[in-house]
A and B are shown apart, each in its own frame.
Chain A
């Protein structure tokens, strides 16, 4: 972790009596005052990372592939094999889209940064322990015993907290995230405790959708070819895209 410029926390803030009419001024919503590098939409209901270009690419890829499948393959397959194929395909497609949007738009489990009071309290404790006149930044790690095992909790200089176990700081979003897995550019968000289930289901259902589309496209091609072979058996050229007369 890089060494940061550390300055002591000032807890000087306005006391309640100095601003007696503070409640009259419109309150800023939490997302408006959010210190991280996230983007918010729909009055704070949607939370995404700063860079969302790749997410739009993911959307385009899924929509175009499925769109082509439904346009060109489904009619033939519904007639030849079973009408349930487009239904299953449609359900899978909607599921994939739903889980993708849930992953991208939900809060991954961002830990709120320490209030100035809390950070100052931590510094005071460290100063008492060190007994030093000057102030130095809190130590990098704090040891904690979990179920008999000693675990080191790391200190986050940006958020000014000791991170709980399995939490990590995302440098792209500039937040500490609980049970941080990774920052996924394809999904346009961090994957952490709160959206891991959506991400996992997205990956799983996308795999099924891919295999489904691939299998039925191959089936379509094979069936068309066999039709051509069957009908125009004597033809010199068997074009894969020939018009099959029933």
Chain B
């Protein structure tokens, strides 16, 4: 639970400096994918590989959710036959994956992003159009971004 305190204290002791929006990547069609291009605003805040890993994992999750295969076909037929009443009892595959994504984002926030003064908003909150990353500046520091990661670590403790 100590990692959770980091997020709460982040919000209370830090102020929102900026927000970065990762747009959708439509190059491979209209399925849900986000651009893995590393935004310049995050250059001093987080390592490129960590960020790209996060976005790639999210893209994989979405691809899994939208995959059309045997299971989704059966689910669709069953749903149609029962006039979609079956969804009163069970969850759709897409909803299951969305829950997994929410858990993954929270875990990433706690472990990787909050210690660096960043916060990822679940894209579902923004209609799957953007991944919103909030950049927090620690109130104690004078706004210098180079020392902010160490400063936020000490405030989090």
A interface majority secondary structure: mixed
Identify the closest chain B residue to A106 (Cβ): B84
User: What 1/0 flags go to A121-164 for Cβ under 8 Å of B?
Assistant: 10000000000000000000000111100010000000001001
Task: Answer yes or no: A239 CB below 8 A from chain B CBs.
Answer: no
User: Given the complex, which residues of A lie within 8 Å of B12, measured CB to CB?
Assistant: 16-17, 20
CB distance from A12 to the nearest CB of B (A): 12
User: Given the complex, which residues of B lie within 8 Å of A151, measured CB to CB?
Assistant: 26
Task: Answer yes or no: A99 CB below 8 A from chain B CBs.
Answer: yes
User: From residue 29 to 88 of chain B, which have CB atoms closer than 8 A to chain A?
Assistant: 29-30, 80, 83-85
User: Given the complex, which residues of B lie within 8 Å of A114, measured CB to CB?
Assistant: 126
Task: Answer yes or no: A198 CB below 8 A from chain B CBs.
Answer: yes
Q: How many residues of A contact B (CB 8 A)?
A: 29
* A165-B26 in contact given A17-B15, A95-B83 (Cβ < 8 Å): yes
B interface majority secondary structure: mixed
Contact present for B84 and A198 (CB under 8 Å): yes
A84 to B102, CA, bound (A): 49
Interface centre among B13, B30, B80 (most CB of A within 10 A): B30
B139's contact among A17, A118, A144, A197, by CB below 8 Å, is which?
A: A17
Task: Answer yes or no: A25 CB below 8 A from chain B CBs.
Answer: no
| A-B contact list, 19 entries, CB within 8 Å | A16-B11, A17-B15, A17-B139, A20-B12, A94-B83, A98-B85, A111-B127, A112-B126, A114-B126, A115-B126, A144-B26, A146-B26, A146-B29, A147-B27, A147-B28, A151-B26, A165-B26, A178-B127, A197-B84
Closest 6 CB pairs of A and B: A111-B127, A146-B26, A112-B127, A117-B19, A98-B83, A144-B26
Residues of B with Cβ closer than 8 Å to A? 11-16, 19, 21, 24, 26-30, 80, 83-85, 125-127, 129-130, 132, 139
